[in-house]
A and B are shown apart, each in its own frame.
Chain A
Amino acid sequence: MICAGTHCYLMGGAELQLFHEYLPAGLRDSVIVTGSPCLGNCNCEGSGKPPFVMVNDIIVEQATIQSLLEVVNAELKN
């Protein structure tokens, strides 16, 4: 779930909206990519910096395409 809240969007989340295109073809069927309104992390101290993404139950802060790919791969292995 990729946060499409305004705060995340401004701080680099805009880029992540195209995340599905970066998934290797083999993974596209096993991962569902959705947008989400503000996940509520941006305004609470100590939960890291935007942009935020939720992969299953894991909150990824300062997400980038690369860091997301890693988390997604690790989750798929589990």
Chain B
Amino acid sequence: MSVTNNAMIIRRDLLTRIIKLMEREELEKKIDRIPLEVRPRGEDSVRCCVHKDRAVLKYKLMAILGFNIADETDELTPLSEYVRMAYNGRSQSDVVLTVVDEACSSCRQTSYEVSNLCRGCVARPCINNCPKDAIRFFNGQAHIDHKACVNCGKCLKMCPFHAIVYMPVPCEEVCPVNAIKKNDRGVEYIDPAKCINCGKCMIACPFGAIMEKSNLVDIFRNKIEGKKLIALLAPAIAGQFGSDIQRIRSSFHMLGFDYVYEVAEGAEQTIFNEAAELKERLEEGQPFMTTSCCPGYTSLVDKHIPALKPFVSHTRSPMHYMAKKAREEHQDACIVFVSPCPAKKWEVYHDSYTDYTLSFEEYGAWLVARQLDLNDIEPLEGGYTPAAEARGFATSGGVTAAVKKVAEGVNINETIINGIDKAALRQLKNMPRNYQGNFVEVMTCENGCIGGCNVISNPRLAAKKIQEAMENAPGILAEKALP
């Protein structure tokens, strides 16, 4: 399945335009023209008319500037005004995703519908099998009475012509925790008390109506104010753009970052701490322990499975350890985590050492805005080479493999949850009662971080690249002494 769709391409195009203008210091002057440039008069519109398209673009740009669309008080406020506010430094909340209500087409409530393929047959198995007597016939075709229908789907299975279709609401369908629901206008609303910031709804929405707020302006503002910029590269970046990690590191210097660290270095500490903690907990008689490096998963436990909380490890994420070291070395710098997913953006907001997030997507847009091509960049030699196992954190199963290497004397019997969906949620909910193994690795995204919703590369290609990077790295025990 493809990982890119047109809604994403539009977002990436907008990101590129914004960064270009920021690089030229013309954002405030020119941002209000972007919707007109993207949707000029006379070209086909995607929605009812070009004005609606432009309105949607305006709100997407507002999200990229880092604002909550729901916070708009005056519809006439131009984007340039938001740019001013952003450059003056505004406070942000930990809300990562924002719904563009103009773009949300208020997909119809999940339902079964009879399509015009209905032949009005004589047997009418739909009627006979409907437990609620919800099917009526008129004009020679079946119709579902939605007041009576309970969405059981029996009619769909019975129709010999496959005339009955299931119409899901895409965003609600993928949300593992039912956090996104319609408000009274039929537009989706994300409940912050339930949302774990996995971003699955953002990818699923066919209208691109769910946008991630960006820190781009904040990063540029800090640069202008003369702060040193530090990039912390998530391990998953090694698989992106078909490039290698040395070129990627080099490119961050070209974009204007002063120092670049690989978060895989912090992962080494996570590995040792995780292994030590597992050993300790098992010795104390706890039946099992789960990982804690994926913020989508830890939010899931906090908000939806409190009974699992005592089993979640207290070891911090690789990002946290790396940011701590970077902060110790550069007190006043602005620390930017380069991230595969919105859940990490949430973690960054709550982390004491990290300031901002730059998603892989935003990073790519920045390269394009500067007309930099990774293939042409000289690789940056030298620097710290993180252990192979630490690089492996980017893929599902990587944490377990690493902990197994260093957890001496512990016989690890693991379960790997590769992506959180409704089934995984049920499995996790049962664990405090009857889990038989002793170690559970949980990644919110399928394939691990290389499957995060801000990634560029197809996860299969990314996995290959990560494998290559691992082959060029020392083993965790060969080179690193146990602390």
Contact = CB atoms under 8 A, between A and B. Distances in A.
Interface of A: 4-7, 9-12, 14-15, 17-18, 35, 37-38, 42-43, 65
26 contacts: A4-B242, A4-B375, A5-B375, A6-B241, A6-B368, A6-B374, A7-B368, A9-B241, A9-B456, A10-B12, A10-B364, A10-B365, A11-B12, A11-B368, A14-B242, A14-B456, A15-B2, A15-B3, A15-B4, A17-B242, A17-B457, A18-B461, A35-B242, A37-B373, A38-B373, A38-B375
Contacts of A14: 3-4, 241-242, 456-458, 461
Given A10-B12, A17-B458, 7 more contacts: A4-B375, A6-B241, A6-B374, A9-B364, A10-B361, A10-B368, A14-B461
Given A6-B367, A11-B9, A12-B9, A18 B458 contact: yes
A42 B367 CA distance: 13
Nearest to B5: A12
Contacts of B2: 15, 65
A11 B368 CA distance: 10
B374 to A, nearest CB: 5
A6 B4 contact: no
A17 B242 CA distance: 9
B30 interface: no
B24 to A, nearest CB: 16
A11 B9 CA distance: 6
Contacts of B371: 7, 43
Interface of B: 2-4, 9, 12-13, 241-243, 361, 364-365, 367-368, 371-376, 456-458, 460-461
Nearest to B13: A11
A15 B367 CA distance: 19
B4 A12 contact: yes
B241 A17 contact: no
A10 B16 CA distance: 10
Given A4-B375, A18-B458, A38-B375, A9 B242 contact: yes
B272 to A, nearest CB: 34
A12 B9 CA distance: 7
Contacts of B368: 6-7, 10-11, 42
A11 B2 CA distance: 13
The 5 closest A-B pairs by CB, nearest first: A10-B364, A37-B375, A6-B373, A12-B4, A15-B2
A11 B458 CA distance: 13
B385 to A, nearest CB: 24
Given A18-B461, A35-B242, A10 B456 contact: yes
B8 to A, nearest CB: 8
A7 B364 CA distance: 8
A65 to B, nearest CB: 7
A37 B242 CA distance: 11
Nearest to A38: B373
A15 B242 CA distance: 11
